[in-house]
Amino acid sequence: MPITEQDRLAGDDPAAPPEALAGGAHATGATQRSRAKETRRQALLSAAASLFAVNGFNRVSLEDLGAAAGVSGPAVYRHFPGKQAVLGALLLSVSQDLLDGGQSVVAAAGDPASALARLVQFHVDFALSNPDVIRVQDRDFSNLSADDQAQVRALQRSYVELWVDVLAGIHSETDTADLRMRAHATFGLINSTPHSVRNHGRRMAIKSARPLLENMALAALTAPA
Amino acid sequence: MPITEQDRLAGDDPAAPPEALAGGAHATGATQRSRAKETRRQALLSAAASLFAVNGFNRVSLEDLGAAAGVSGPAVYRHFPGKQAVLGALLLSVSQDLLDGGQSVVAAAGDPASALARLVQFHVDFALSNPDVIRVQDRDFSNLSADDQAQVRALQRSYVELWVDVLAGIHSETDTADLRMRAHATFGLINSTPHSVRNHGRRMAIKSARPLLENMALAALTAPA
DNA sequence: CATCACAGTTAATAGAGACTAACCTAAATC
DNA sequence: GATTTAGGTTAGTCTCTATTAACTGTGATG
């Protein structure tokens, strides 16, 4: 472990025996064991998000990862086939969540203009709520296995197309490549927050960041070609 | 070496003897040797930019790096004290170039509004011309030594302050934290191009990307608070 | 011309860290 | 209650790669 954090996330005392985890919040499995396992899995994913975000995939050892989830080293193999698979699970779930969220937002909206406004709100909210995974996604994508890369890319593509379709309903004259680039650039704008808004609150309050980002994003999206 | 490129950058045949490099384009040193050395150093930095951008710092070995510059393995130590130092030299020079360029742009401009427009032009141009280093900078920053991190951060801070000062001349009522976040978000927007504009030209022509990005950036920067 | 300096080379060295083996204990299961 | 299952543990193994050592050949330098 380099030097940085690894506490703060494992809500439970790392030294506590596994049974202490059994009564955890979620985990809907039947047996006590399967619930404990699910909880541990979530702890590992959460630890991975934070550790990977801070140190980068390559500088987090399985030892670090296990320790942050209250377990040590090779125990990770009881939950994932390998280190790369942890990253895969993490990024696949993020991409899926973004896509699902985006789709339901669009489905709920009436006209394209309000759909776009809601999409922006949704994405800003997502980025401000999950800065860690956002960071990991655009820093450690290339550490995914080839298969996972393809799957994540497919999900991301769908998400982008969602935006492009909505944008096409507004800038009907503009060609798709242009709209796709607008979407990407807007993601870049919104996703910049993990860099500027520090976890330990140095820079700027999230509360005031939200409307500012929304306004900037909408302005950029509706700027003249 | 994973699989990806390592040719295409070393303009000279990697198998060619060192003397072939002596007649290179730049390198103003006195003796033949010092010119060759400078050329090799540049080749290493250029190879590093490309390799790090594609594969990430950690998955490029010194062997790869040397090979891409027509030299092999430990020869890198004749030019840099270590792998980390190569990254340091690369990112320090980028940060310095951005700051220098930004300062001269602002110095040349009259009113704040035109200064801002020129800054945007400059930054867009920089990002489109050097997608590799942009990518490396925001992906592998944390692989720098502590000292280099501090230096790069200082340069970046100055660059941001340059933008904030110009922005303050326009949105005079807005507070600085807000303006700083605007600058960061705009960098995120503009720096998104390394992701969307692929080197091998899949996505969108650079030519049409430039004005689009400029318009989006300006719209975002001047959006209501 | 003699000698030095120095960019390169190939062959160790060394440390890190992903993954595997062998065991252990307690919840499931019958 | 006996037996299996499975999450954990600790102690290897094995590979990869940054760095160092020991040499070499050739362009400066006097």
Q: What is the pLDDT of residues B157-180, one digit of tens each?
A: 999 999 999 999 999 899 999 999
Distance in angstroms (rounded) separating the CA atoms of residues A138 and B98: 23
% of chain A with per-residue pLDDT over 90: 76
Q: Is there a contact between B215 and A225 if contact means CB atoms under 8 Å apart?
A: yes
The values of phi and psi at residue B31, to 5°, are: -80, 160
Check residue A30 and give its pLDDT: 81
**What is the per-residue pLDDT across A25-47, written as a single tens digit (0 to 9) for each?**
455 668 989 999 999 999 999 99
Strand C protein footprint, C-beta under 7 A: A 19, 31-34, 59-63, 73-74, 77, 82-84; B 18, 33, 36-37, 40, 66, 71-75, 78-79
Average pLDDT over residues A84-93: 98
Residues of B in contact with A188 (CB under 8 A): 188-192, 195
| CB of A176 closer than 8 Å to CB of A168 | yes
pLDDT band, very low/low/confident/very high, at A205 (cuts 50, 70, 90)? confident
Across the range B194-207, mean pLDDT stands at: 68
Tell me if the pTM is above 0.75.
yes
Say if residue A94's pLDDT is above 70.
yes
In angstroms, the CA of A22 and the C1' of C24 are apart by 20
Residue A22 confidence (pLDDT) above 80:
no
Q: Is A2 on the interface with B (CB under 8 A)?
A: no
| CB-count burial class (<10 Å; 0-12, 13-18, 19+) for B220 | buried
Q: How confident is the model at residue B203 (pLDDT cuts 50, 70, 90)?
A: low
* pLDDT tens readout for residues A120-155: 999 999 999 999 999 999 999 999 999 999 999 999
The per-residue pLDDT of chain A, averaged, comes to 87
pLDDT at residue B52, as a whole number: 98
What the block records as the tokens of B79 is 């030019």
Bases of chain D within 7 A of a CB of the protein? 6-11, 16-21, 27-29
Contact B185 A213 (CB under 8 A): yes
Q: How close is the nearest chain A Cα to the Cα of B46, in Å?
A: 21
Instruction: Categorize the per-residue pLDDT at B32 as very low, low, confident or very high, splitting at 50, 70 and 90.
Output: confident
Query: CA B32 – C1' C2 distance (Å)?
Result: 21
CA A75 – C1' C23 distance (Å)? 14
Query: pLDDT grade, residue B204 (50/70/90)?
Result: low
Q: Does B123 touch chain A (CB under 8 A)?
A: no
How many secondary structure helices (H) and strands (E) does chain A include? Answer: 10, 0
| Spacing of A167 CA from D11 C1' in Å | 59
Mean pLDDT over each residue of chain B, to the nearest integer: 87
Confidence label for A191 from pLDDT (cuts 50, 70 and 90) = very high
- Three-state DSSP class for residue B225: coil
Helices (H), chain B: 19-22, 32-55, 62-68, 83-108, 112-129, 131-140, 146-168, 176-190, 193-196, 206-221
What's the whole-number mean pLDDT along residues B14-34?
A: 53
Mean pLDDT along residues B20-45: 75
pLDDT classification of A13: cutoffs 50, 70, 90: very low
Given this model, what pLDDT does residue B194 score?
84
Tens of pLDDT, residue by residue over B36-74, are 999 999 999 999 999 999 999 999 999 999 999 999 899
Contact A204 B56 (CB under 8 A): no
Mean pLDDT, range A203-210, rounded to an integer: 79
